[in-house]
Structure 1
Amino acid sequence: MLATTVALVILLYFGFLMLISKLTSVSGEGQSESFFIANRSSKWYLVAYGMVGATLSGVTFISVPGTVATSGWSYLQFMMGNMVGYVVIAYVLIPLFYSKKLISIYEYLKDRFGVKSYKTGSFFFMLSQTIGASFRLYLAALVLQLAFFDAYNIPFWVAVLVTILLIWLYTFKGGIKTIVWTDTLQTTFLLLAAVWTIYTIYNSLNMSVDSMVSTVYESKMSDIFVWDWKAGNFFWKQFLAGIFITISMNGLDQNIMQKNLTCKNVGEAQKNVLWFALAFFIATVIFLFLGVLLYEFAAYNAIPLPTRSDELYPMLALHHFGLFTAIVFLLGIIAAAFSSADSALTALTTAFCIDFLNLNEEEDASIKNRKRKLVHVMFSFILFLVIVGFRLLNDDSVVSSVFKAAGYTYGPLLGLFVFGIFTKKKINDKYVLIVCLLSPVLSYILNIYSTELLFGYQFGFEILLVNAGFTMLGLTLISKK
């Protein structure tokens, strides 16, 4: 694939994003209100559709199709739990956040426990979101580096700087209002890439629709359920983890919930969550379906498989499916990366401005806008530093471990909110940070030694529940009499 073609695709893509940013930006006194919650005027169906791309991310776009060789469709067990989790978000968290008219969802912790709990919750979100967004952008940057920047001997750090600058340019004025609209474009490109690749394989292998469906259905790579209780992807482990990971990483995540809070009322926000859940499930099935076909195509054409499953889809798309499919794939991976990164940058800016600078209490609109823009620049620079740091490590396993470690920060958030919503106990607020720091450490240690301590049992995603449990136990111990 010619580097000039890649450059043209990237320029056209960001041209679309800049145009959307221009059309959705607000200037003057209403700028900050529009940046944070889009004046609560977003159409629920636009938010629901756009959130599909933001939730899938570049990691899912590349990784899910590749994992079917080892895990089959067992990921759907996790997705089934997701569906239940979204129902909880729609009927428990959405009404709670709307009733308090929150901009940052962590303001709830201030009302319930105190300022230290509030700051702790927001800090854990910002830590995990910074690492997570950087990791997703890092993977996308690697693809772009191979496809374009290497051809002109452009260093990786320059590529990352340009990438971050482009994101900053189309989000710094419009904020969440712009994100809601750009997400719809990015979701379209992401799904188009998967569907078009399926069509390409369908044509290449001279399949009929019936034979293609039966090929996937009869493949062992499409097995869904795992009933071995010791396995990491045992059904009940995956299902329960799906419920609580959805609640914590979506319902208690400013990045996701900020989009829900742009809807004009509770009813529309609930419709958004439920329809998004259905669309997200269908999108995941499409990517799993694609995964089986990718392996079938490679086997039929005797193409050696890459050592890492994450490299299968990029390798086939860029080198074996033709120029047009390569372009569509490139659009998909760019969309998948930036749909999560741009909203993460906006959410980080919002959380810091509201939770640490108390910007919603600032009366002077010009001062408020100036501070918000400075914070936006600050987090753009932080993302740049973290991504370049990942590159300097030059060890994918270490970078992946850092990303997984960031997931431990959601346990304390889940524990704090569950304890706050389902108990009436007051706590000694000054000890909350200690509890929330100890809980992930204890969970990590238990996870490492689980086979020795728990008769061969291995934790999967459900380590989140253990983490939240440690947090709730700690909160109980520091409760006031």
Structure 2
Amino acid sequence: MHLTTPDWIIIISFFVIFIFIGVLVSKKSGKDSKSFFLSNRNMPWWLLGVSMVATTFAADTPNFVAGVIREDGVFGNWIWWSFLLTGMLTVFFYAKLWRKSGITTDLEFYELRYSGKSAAFLRGFRAIYLGVFFNIVIMANVCLAAIKIGHVMFGLSAYQVLLIASPVVVIYSAFGGLKGVILTDFVQFIIAMVGSIWATIYIVNMPEIGGMEKLLSTPAVAAKTAMLPDFSKPELLIPLLIVPLAVQWWSVWYPGAEPGGGGYIAQRMLAAKDEKHATYATLFFNFAHYALRPWPWIIIGLASIIVSRT
């Protein structure tokens, strides 16, 4: 893919803006640990809600959803839509409790709920397990997606992609703390959604697709548009609907949707102005995460079925 000078200006500006945001808020974020990790607990619900959606929106997320569409159809998304159950539990039960707890991080809760050496051990174990081992897996997935995108679009090697992108994230996170992350999340989410919708409109109007009506009337696509699996086929019904709804939503760790919200979401609830803002933030997150954000990717996934055949 050949990039012109304006293209590079946009890309460089993208990184510069995020570094600028981190440096801009660094003075307030660096006052103490509360300022750094909680932004003084004064964040509004709408900013926190957008940040929650953005932090669960990585480079690999659209690819994953589009892949599910191609493989199983729209109903294949029940593999993660089922987590809405725990998401709403967080909204109406856990959000207020997280904010009311007054703790700094979700791991601190273990020593609030339990006591003694066993509580300290549990907190330390979770910190190492989630902060090191689990996060390495998460970051590896995201970095792999970024590497593939960087190679296809810019012709960059894996090392080049990581050496360009990683320092930018480290800089604005280290300087800006949670507030810097939340503000950059807000900007990134707007850019990502505008890009997703723009890409959807462009792809749907490609000559091979011929518009939305033609897309949905194509037999190969129509077979993938069902919201629910065929109940007469247990081989589809059980793994794609029964298991997610009966077991997966409470037994599997999924960023932002495990019972109680988990680290990513809990940290933002803890930074809310009050309990109402924590509740509204998680409510907006669940609406945007499940009902709003994935539809451009779903449409693109359906369109890719036709494009791959032409």
Q: Specify if TM > 0.5.
A: yes
* 1:18 equivalent in alignment to 2:24: no
Q: What SS is found at the alignment partner of 1:56?
A: coil
Aligned to 1:110: 111
Contact 2:255 2:264 in 1 (8 A): no
State how far apart, in whole Å, the 2-side matches of 1:286 and 1:147 are: 20
| Deviation, structure 1 residue 10 | 2.5
Q: Distance in 1 between matches of 2:167 and 2:245?
A: 39
Q: C-alpha displacement at 1:176, in angstroms?
A: 0.9
The aligned amino acid for 2:120 is V
Say whether the 8 Å CA contact 1:50–1:183 is kept in structure 2.
yes
> Aligned match of 1:295 in 285, 305, 309?
305
TM-score if structure 1 supplies the norm length? 0.56
Match of 1:258 among 256, 263, 267: 267
Per the alignment, residue 249 of structure 2 pairs with 243
Corresponding residue number in structure 2 for 1:59: 60
Instruction: Give runs of aligned pairs for residues 170-209 of structure 1, distance below 5 A.
Output: 170-205=172-207, 207-209=210-212
Whether contact under 8 Å (1:81, 1:239) holds in the other structure is yes
- Per-residue deviation, 1:147: 3.0
Once the two structures are superposed, the pairs formed by residues 158-173 of structure 1 within 5 Å of their partners are: 158-173=160-175
**Structure 1 unaligned runs (5+)?**
303-481
Query: Matches of 2:280 and 2:47 in 1, distance apart?
Result: 11
Shifted more, 72-81 versus 101-110: the winner is 72-81
Q: Provide the TM-score with structure 2 as the length reference.
A: 0.84
Structure 1 distance, partners of 2:283, 2:220, is 28
Q: Cα–Cα, structure 1 residues 209 and 72, in superposed 2: closer, same or farther, change >3 Å?
A: closer
Asked whether the 8 Å contact 2:99–2:278 carries over to 1, the reply is no
Larger radius of gyration: 1
Q: Would the aligned equivalents of 2:66 and 2:300 in 1 still touch at CA under 8 Å?
A: yes
Q: Percent same amino acid among aligned pairs? A: 17
Instruction: Please give the residue correspondences for 1:399-418 in structure 2 after superposition, counting only pairs within 5 Å.
Output: none
Which secondary structure does the structure 2 equivalent of 1:221 belong to? coil
1:245 to 1:145, Cα distance in 2 relative to 1, 3 A: farther
Q: Which amino acid aligns with 1:55?
A: T
| Greater CA drift, 177-186 or 212-221 | 212-221
For structure 2, the residue ranges without an aligned partner over 5 or more in a row are none
> How far off its partner does 1:229 sit?
4.1
Paired position in structure 2 for 1:122: 127
Q: How many residues align?
A: 296
Instruction: For 1:63-102, list aligned pairs within 5 A.
Output: 63-102=64-103
CA deviation digits over 1:87-126, x for unaligned, max 9? 1112332233222211111212123332112212222221
Native 8 Å contact 1:216 1:292 kept in 2 = no
C-alpha separation between the residues in 2 aligned to 1:47 and 1:28?
A: 16
Distance 1:209 1:149, change over 3 A: closer
Using the alignment, how far apart are the partners of 1:184 and 1:213 within structure 2?
A: 33
For 1:222, the aligned partner's letter is T
1:180 deviates by 1.0
Distance 1:87 1:26 in 2: 36
Contact 1:90 1:270 in 2 (8 A): yes
